[in-house]
């Protein structure tokens, strides 16, 4: 079994080398909705992503910012699971704050942003701040490990 430092290193490597997060939201009537987004991680461990301002999930976020999310490796081998489950809060970032992420986001997803430039125009950056993270890497640990993040 790995120690806490090795576990955190493995977690940070995993979350920083993947691109897509699936995020579940719930509207004021508790109707769930899920969406996928390309993301990057800031220095505090928050997930930053772009989304159109008129999307269903962007409208829901304005009324309920509590979310859950997952980032995972796909495997067709039963029991071979590597992934992260997140509980947290989501908020739209101000235009000024978002502008500092634009260059970093473009560098990380240059090909994607160039192909989908029309989608970027009119989009906003959002920040998912984790309140709880469960990280599992059955390849390395042969079990599930939970990490409580204090951000």
How high is the pLDDT of residue 100? 83
User: Which of 4-8, 15-19, 107-111 is modeled with the greatest confidence?
Assistant: 15-19
How high is the pLDDT of residue 60? 92
Across 1-27, average pLDDT: 83
How high is the pLDDT of residue 82? 82
Q: How far apart are CA 48 and CA 29, in angstroms?
A: 26
> Which residue range forms the structural domain that includes residue 117?
4-147
101 CA to centre of own chain: 15
Q: How far apart are CA 104 and CA 54, in angstroms?
A: 24
Give the containing element (helix H, strand E) for 8. Answer: helix 4-16
Q: Are 57 and 35 in contact (CB under 8 A)?
A: yes
How much of the chain, in percent, has pLDDT values that exceed 90? 34
Model confidence, pTM: 0.83
Has residue 7 got a pLDDT over 80? no
Q: How far apart are CA 134 and CA 48, in angstroms?
A: 19
Has residue 151 got a pLDDT over 50? no
Q: What is the pLDDT of residues 53-77, one digit of tens each?
A: 888 988 999 899 999 999 998 766 7
Has residue 150 got a pLDDT over 50? no
Q: Comparing 57-61, 94-98, 145-149, which segment has the lowest mean pLDDT?
A: 145-149
As for how many domains the chain has, the answer is 1
Q: Which CATH number is 40's domain given?
A: 2.30.110.10
Q: What average pLDDT does the chain have?
A: 81
Number of neighbours of residue 9 by Cβ within 10 angstroms: 12
């Amino acid at each position: 079994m790995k120690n806490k430092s090795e576990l955190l290193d493995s977690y940070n490597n995993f979350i920083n080398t993947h691109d897509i997060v699936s995020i579940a939201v719930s509207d004021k009537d508790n109707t769930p909705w899920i969406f996928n987004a390309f993301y990057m991680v800031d220095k505090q461990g928050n997930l930053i992503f772009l989304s159109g301002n008129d999307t269903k999930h962007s409208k829901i976020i304005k009324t309920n910012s509590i979310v859950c999310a997952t980032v995972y490796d796909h495997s067709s081998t039963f029991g071979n699971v590597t992934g992260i489950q997140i509980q947290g809060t989501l908020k739209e970032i101000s235009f000024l704050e978002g502008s500092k992420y634009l260059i970093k986001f473009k560098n990380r997803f240059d090909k994607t942003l160039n192909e989908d430039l029309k989608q970027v125009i009119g989009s906003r950056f959002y920040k998912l701040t984790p309140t709880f993270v469960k990280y599992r890497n059955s390849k390395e640990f042969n079990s599930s490990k939970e990490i409580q993040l204090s951000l």
